Amino acid sequence: MATIKLFSGNSLRAVMGELAPAFKKATGHQVEASYDPAKMMMERIARGEAPDLILLNRSAIADLVKSGDLVPDSVRPVLRCGVGVAVRKGAPKPDIGTVDAFKKTVLAAKSVAWTSHGTSGIYFSGLIEQLGIAEPLKAKAVLQPGGLVGELVVAGKAELAIQQIPELMAVSGVDYVGPLPKEIQKITEQSIGLFASSKEPAAARMLVDFMTSPEAKRMFQAKGFEAA
């Protein structure tokens, strides 16, 4: 039995509770997952850390292939997800159906939570600049480097949470409001790749196959992902 070390963003945390046991039941191999925002993951790799597999946005995966860290023929697309909004469970769900409605909602909120290092948080920081609402939002921002910002809403530290949809859905105690309007939506496509230095390459490739199987796709879809 092998233990496969996987680096992934926080969005995968919600589904791994089901996927890892199903994979172990099918193969006997265990998955040891580590969750971080993309920026922090790349910093860990630059410091010399190397798991067996990494699930990350396509551009970062391509960079790791170019640098020789990943085996090129191992890379497979796995999933896609967008950015959404959540409120504390039982709170009124605000209107975010149009760009104007979304702007009014975030401007009216007493506090808004997003990440400073995560993919969705970096995107949202740029989006509010484009929408011309950065200054008032920065004044009431509740930021953390990574993790699940829905937990800040549950704790009463923020009124709204902005993050990738699966990460919002992973937090009990919040209600998912919906996705950002399509005109300002950010879809992240994530791929998985095998590290050239993997100590368990055969078992790791089995996990890649499992994560692109129909069974895994059903698990992803139930947690707010779109299968690639």
C-alpha span between 228 and 216 (Å, rounded): 11
Whether residue 114 sits in one domain with residue 34: no
What pLDDT, on a 0 to 100 scale, did the predictor assign at position 117? Answer: 87
What pLDDT, on a 0 to 100 scale, did the predictor assign at position 39? Answer: 83
Give yes or no for a contact between 13 and 170, defined as CB atoms under 8 angstroms apart.
Answer: yes
Whether residue 93 sits in one domain with residue 153: yes
Whether residue 54 sits in one domain with residue 40: yes
Residues spanned by the domain of 102: 83-184
Whether residue 172 sits in one domain with residue 91: yes
Whether residue 90 sits in one domain with residue 71: no
What pLDDT, on a 0 to 100 scale, did the predictor assign at position 11? Answer: 80
Which tokens hold the place of 75?
């890379």
What pLDDT, on a 0 to 100 scale, did the predictor assign at position 104? Answer: 98
What pLDDT, on a 0 to 100 scale, did the predictor assign at position 9? Answer: 84
> What is the rounded end-to-end Cα distance, in angstroms, of the chain?
29
- Tell me how many domains the chain contains: 2
What pLDDT, on a 0 to 100 scale, did the predictor assign at position 38? Answer: 82
DSSP 195: B
CB atoms closer than 10 angstroms to residue 182: 10
Whether residue 171 sits in one domain with residue 93: yes
CATH of the domain at 95: 3.40.190.10
Which tokens hold the place of 22?
């199903």
Whether residue 120 sits in one domain with residue 96: yes
What pLDDT, on a 0 to 100 scale, did the predictor assign at position 64? Answer: 95
What pLDDT, on a 0 to 100 scale, did the predictor assign at position 12? Answer: 87
Whether residue 87 sits in one domain with residue 120: yes
Which tokens hold the place of 170?
């992973």
Whether residue 162 sits in one domain with residue 115: yes
pLDDT tens track, the chain, 228 positions? 899 999 998 888 878 989 999 999 999 999 999 998 888 888 999 999 989 999 998 989 999 999 999 999 999 999 999 999 999 999 999 999 999 999 999 999 999 999 998 889 999 999 999 999 999 999 999 999 988 999 999 999 999 999 999 999 989 999 999 999 999 999 999 999 999 999 999 999 999 999 999 999 999 999 889 877
Q: Is the dihedral of CA 18, 21, 23, 26 positive or negative?
A: negative
Place of tokens 């496509």: 189
Whether residue 162 sits in one domain with residue 114: yes
SS3 string of 3-66?
A: EEEEEECHHHHHHHHHHHHHHHHHHCCEEEEEECCHHHHHHHHHCCCCCCEEEEEHHHHHHHHH
Kindly write down the DSSP assignment for every residue of 133-153, as one continuous string. Answer: -HHHHHTTEEEESSS-THHHH
Whether residue 122 sits in one domain with residue 57: no
Whether residue 170 sits in one domain with residue 112: yes
C-alpha span between 78 and 71 (Å, rounded): 16
